[in-house]
Structure 1
Amino acid sequence: MILVTGGAGFIGSNFVLDWFGNFDEPVVNLDKLTYAGNLSNLTSLQGDARHIFVRGDIGNSELVDELLTYHRPRAVINFAAESHVDRSITGPAAFIETNINGTFKLLESVRRYWKELDEGDKDSFRFLHVSTDEVYGTLGPDDAPFTESTAYAPNSPYSASKAASDHLVRAYHHTYGIPVLTTNCSNNYGPYHFPEKLIPLVISNALAGKALPVYGDGRQVRDWLYVSDHCAAIRRVLDAGQPGETYNVGGWNEMANIEVVQTICDILDQHRPKAQGRYRDQVQFVTDRPGHDRRYAIDARKLERELDWKPAETFESGIAKTVEWYLTNEAWVDAIQSGAYQDWVEQNYAQRGRQ
């Protein structure tokens, strides 16, 4: 039995689905179901006795204590987090509450639980904390990619809150001996991605005939990681990672945002051509967001060298699969684009305007 927190979100739900594609070991899935948590991601698991869903907050210590005591998991994998930079700029309090205070309370529950285990179970238990490359700050165009020893230099309320949570996880290992693992990943993409993020937003806006907003000059560079590759890396770290260690997870796919947008447009031109013109015609450059990091890049050689993991997907293969998924699952997108979501998107991009 493992306990997964945030398992109805984008990466968490993909992890749970991939887990059952590889193992029969049961999963307790704890998710608060905020705007980005979506049980429809897990529809295929309805009635599956291996999947136990619990709606709740990682900051609810009483609930977490009860789940740990009752289900006796051998591992906790923590995906639960507020994760959108733009939302952290307009409303940072939620990021402090979930990513810092929530992680602290979760660690305290785990510490109480782990302390009472017998020695064999103590040694085999793992707490795996899923984090981001954004904690490292930004890179210049010629800088070497982030390694596990890169100094933290977060530049947004989101990345600062994740950096704080990483430090807490590290401290609980060094102070209390809890066998923790931390992964810092690059930008994920793939099925079930909430359409406020770049790739799903571009796909849904393109199909709806709306503008495709691109921040600034669109030359911000990201390392793109297909979500199933990320899930495989997490499973590998959980299985063979050394307690107390951090592992960077990247796709070796550095691309500028404008190139990503144009690639999606070209794929859509092939599979869902417009009556007139091309999807690239919908691109609209808008005012950049405050403090926008210019480049992220992950050096994932430690994970490859020590745990024999490397991504299976190139960006070309992964983005083709992603666009195909959205074209065949438009009902999923329509169902989650509620009035509240549309209001937020309109507010976020309307205030930036056309450049």
Structure 2
Amino acid sequence: MKKLLVTGGAGFIGANFVHYWLSKYPEDNVVVLDALTYAGNLENLAVVQNNENFSFVKGDICDQALVETLLIDHQVDTLVHFAAESHVDRSITGPDAFIETNILGTYSLLKAAKKCWLDDRDKPFEHRFHHVSTDEVYGTLSASDPAFTEDTAYAPNSPYSASKAASDHLVRAYHHTYGLNVTTSNCSNNYGPYHFPEKLIPLVITNILHNKSLPIYGDGMQIRDWLYVEDHAYGIDLVLNKGRIGENYNIGGNNEWANINIVKEVCALVETRFAESSELATRFPEALAAIEANTESLITYVTDRLGHDRRYAIDATKTRVELGYEPKETFETGIAKTVSWYLDNEAWWKAVMDGSYQDWVEGQYS
């Protein structure tokens, strides 16, 4: 039986991991630590809040004393670190928060883990510090370049990816210098339920439902590998249970798509749903383009993002060969599930978008 501390577990990927883990390993104990900033949402964890093996703590990963208390009081042996500022646009306009959370926050966690798992023990303690990172640390690829492997040199191009690269290096250093048992996974673009609406896929879905423009950076031909979020959780599961200490593992979806084609695919899926169900037109009367099957008319090209990486692609051969990893969802099946989830969970994304959820959080924890 494992006892996990999951940082950032109220965020998009972290919450999906918690759902996955408690479903697959119901005997394990899971403690979530989350600061509940704008992207953290307790509603993401509603399905597990009554589970006796789950507990939630509101707090900052930079609070080393709090982390040490949680590691000791809950006898944690596995720390899965999702907590991060992750939106590239926000990192361009306000990089300070990314340095604070992604670098100093990871450093704080490493110090707490070292103290509780190594320094304060008379005998070896079986433990794991798993760090969740991104393919963006590798930089950008041309259309003909081979996909990123675990041996690709780091070349981050945004404040976000630079902060994640720095945190990756700290995790590596704590293993090689102090002997902390660590693993790191670098994932491609995640999508799926509970994805914060500022990101591409949920933004397109919710904008269609409000009949708003669908902004496309530059020519829309930036290519990304897309990974259904539950497949990401599955990949981390394999790393935790089969991965070699001190190693990095790439987790990808085997799904390279240009942004403009992603948008058109989502448009087509939403139109299909509206055609199949007249009830949707009643629930979403503003979605005129969807009702009229003309959603691509909402596409608007805007000035490209500063330093926009052209292509990311993950080569997950190492993870497949060593751990047996294969994504279970194709993009077609995963995106269909995602569109359905947003159509079925209007209350969730409306609360996130209109700020009522954050107002509630501030009232609960003020």
Q: TM-score range by the shorter chain?
A: over 0.9
What is aligned with 2:305?
Answer: 289
Percent of aligned positions that are identical: 60
Please provide the CA RMSD for this pair.
1.4
C-alpha deviation, 1:293, in angstroms:
0.1
Aligned mates of 1:118, 1:3 — CA distance in 2: 22
Deviations 1:306-339 (A, max 9, x none): 0011100110010001001001001111011135
Shift of the 118–301 alpha-carbon distance from structure 1 to 2, 3 Å rule, reads: farther
**1:167-316 equivalences in 2 (<5 Å):** 167-273=169-275, 274-316=290-332
- 275-284 or 228-237: bigger deviation: 275-284
Aligned mates of 1:5, 1:200 — CA distance in 2: 23
> In structure 2, which of residues 113, 116, 130 is the aligned counterpart of residue 128 of structure 1?
130
Query: Aligned letter for 1:290?
Result: L
Deviation beyond 3 Å, 4+ runs, structure 1: 117-120
**1:140-155 equivalences in 2 (<5 Å):** 140-155=142-157
Aligned mates of 2:19, 2:121 — CA distance in 1: 29
C-alpha deviation, 1:74, in angstroms:
1.3
1:163 matched to 2:179: no
Secondary structure of 1:252's counterpart equals: coil
Aligned mates of 1:328, 1:339 — CA distance in 2: 20
Secondary structure of 2:32's counterpart equals: strand
Query: Aligned letter for 1:298?
Result: I
What is aligned with 2:68?
Answer: 65
Query: Aligned letter for 1:295?
Result: R
1:77 matched to 2:93: no
- 314-323 or 42-51: bigger deviation: 42-51
Deviations 1:159-197 (A, max 9, x none): 000000000000000000001000000000000000000
Deviations 1:235-255 (A, max 9, x none): 110011111000000001000
> In structure 2, which of residues 48, 51, 56 is the aligned counterpart of residue 48 of structure 1?
51
Aligned mates of 1:258, 1:197 — CA distance in 2: 14
What is aligned with 1:346?
Answer: none
C-alpha deviation, 1:47, in angstroms:
2.3
Secondary structure of 1:239's counterpart equals: helix
> In structure 1, which of residues 331, 336, 344 is the aligned counterpart of residue 352 of structure 2?
336
C-alpha deviation, 1:104, in angstroms:
0.5
C-alpha deviation, 1:118, in angstroms:
5.4
Secondary structure of 1:337's counterpart equals: helix
Preserved CA contact (<8 Å) 2:49 2:55: no
Deviations 1:97-138 (A, max 9, x none): 0000111011000000111345452xx311000000000000
> In structure 2, which of residues 92, 95, 108 is the aligned counterpart of residue 92 of structure 1?
95
Aligned mates of 2:333, 2:315 — CA distance in 1: 21
Name the TM-score, length of structure 1 as normaliser.
0.94
Preserved CA contact (<8 Å) 2:33 2:57: yes
Aligned mates of 1:61, 1:277 — CA distance in 2: 53
C-alpha deviation, 1:272, in angstroms:
1.8
Aligned mates of 2:220, 2:38 — CA distance in 1: 27
Secondary structure of 2:249's counterpart equals: strand
Preserved CA contact (<8 Å) 2:81 2:131: yes
Query: Aligned letter for 2:320?
Result: E
Aligned mates of 2:189, 2:163 — CA distance in 1: 17
